[in-house]
Each structure stands twice: as structure tokens, then as C-alpha cells.
Amino acid sequence: MKARTPETFHQLFSERLFVNKTELIEHIATNADISKAAAARALESTIEAVKKTLKKGGTVSLVGFGSFLVTKRAARMGRNPRTKVPIKIKAAKVVKFRPGKALKDALN
């Protein structure tokens, strides 16, 4: 596989609407000047830390990026779209993301 340059990554991230995990690891490795293996370990470690914190009911706040938090969704009635039969949907915990000011400003 041909090595990508930082310019290629800039184009990749600015032109595409979706970036997968492998491409994100490549981007981290290139920008941080570390190996792909180290970038993968760093990303996995970050994801695991976020999961553990949220599972305990905590909040993960990345200043300038945003916050991840867990909220409760109440039980409700829904409808099977195929059969139109009403169904009960159980209450659940869901992860929400609230973008920070810097991220909002970057998008607008």
C-alpha cells in the first residue's frame, strides 16, 4: 500500500462525509508522527476509557470538542413498520453527544 502524505489526509478528511476507523488511525499516525500500531493502541485505549466512564454513569468532556453523557430513554409504545402492529419498546440508557463551542464554531 502506498504511504499517504499529510496533504492526502487533509483532502481525505475535507472531501469525504465518512471516515472509517482504519483511516482515522492512519490520520493519527501521520499527524502525530507515530506508527500505525501505536496510533491504533491509542485510539483503542481512548475508546475503552470513554466506554468505562459512560458505563459507570459518568461524563466524558473533551474541551473544544464536546461531551459524551448517558441519559435514560423512557419506555414507550412504537409500531412495527412492516405490520403496523403496536409494540412496547423498553426503557434504555443511551449515549448523547453535545458538541463544544469550538466544534460548533468550526462547523458554522
Interval 48-99: pLDDT, tens:
999 999 999 999 999 999 999 999 999 999 999 999 999 999 999 999 999 9
- Tell me how far apart the alpha carbons of residues 19 and 65 are, in angstroms, rounded to a whole number: 17
Q: Looking at the structure, do residues 72 and 106 belong to the same domain, yes or no? A: yes
| pLDDT tier, 4 (very low <50, low <70, confident <90, very high otherwise) | low
Min mean pLDDT across 5-9, 24-28, 51-55 is at 5-9
Q: Looking at the structure, do residues 14 and 48 belong to the same domain, yes or no? A: yes
Domain that holds residue 21: 1-53
Which CATH number does the domain housing residue 100 bear? 4.10.520.10
- Tell me how far apart the alpha carbons of residues 88 and 78 are, in angstroms, rounded to a whole number: 6
Q: Looking at the structure, do residues 48 and 1 belong to the same domain, yes or no? A: yes
Q: Looking at the structure, do residues 72 and 107 belong to the same domain, yes or no? A: yes
Q: Looking at the structure, do residues 61 and 47 belong to the same domain, yes or no? A: no
Helix axis angle, 21-32 relative to 6-15, nearest 10°?
140
Q: Looking at the structure, do residues 69 and 100 belong to the same domain, yes or no? A: yes
| Three-state SS at 74 | coil
